[in-house]
Amino acid sequence: MTDALRRLLTPSDPVYVLPLHDGWDRVAPADPRVAGRLPAHTVVPDGLDAVLLPTTNAEPLRLPILEQRVRGEAFGLLDGLVQERIAAGATATLGDPAILRHRSQETAGDIQGVVVRYLLAVPGTGRRRGIEFLIAFPALPEELLAPLEALYDGIIASGTWRAPVGTGEAAARG
């Protein structure tokens, strides 16, 4: 394979790899394992790239993580989205300003819950592209919700950016 063809086949953006616990898998949104596994109150966003979820119901953590790519709008930058989130109360995740965390109360039909969004700018894109992780929590008392959120904060913050390897993104995430 020529270098030119390899560059065409390999995505240029690095990927953010989360350390998945045994019993978890990263699957495509259309994967049959996703059906029925998302909480009833989860609104699946357009442009969803992947779902990280436990492969069995025996896992103590059962709330899947939705992953999607985002693009900047005004002037092609993510700055407007970041400013909007900060104005709505977003903060740095575990003190890391590179991971913006926004918590909101949301309703889907007659079900209420909390959605936490983590926004990261993809390195090398000039803040034009980002990745967002979403976790939908059911309505819980704060004393039960806070430790769950802290656990997912740790999962997201422990990810690492990696350059794509091989001939595609799947090789970089494996």
pLDDT at residue 174 greater than cutoff 70: no
Residues 6+ apart with CB under 8 A from 26: 20, 50, 51, 52, 67, 173
CATH number for the region 19-158 comes to: 3.40.1000
Q: pLDDT tens digits, residue range 75-133?
A: 688 998 999 999 999 999 999 999 999 999 887 767 788 999 999 999 988 888 999 99
**How does residue 170 score in pLDDT terms, banded at 50, 70 and 90?**
very low
Q: pLDDT tens digits, residue range 59-85?
A: 667 788 999 998 887 668 899 899 999
Domain ranges for the chain, please list them.
19-158
Q: pLDDT at position 20, please?
A: 85
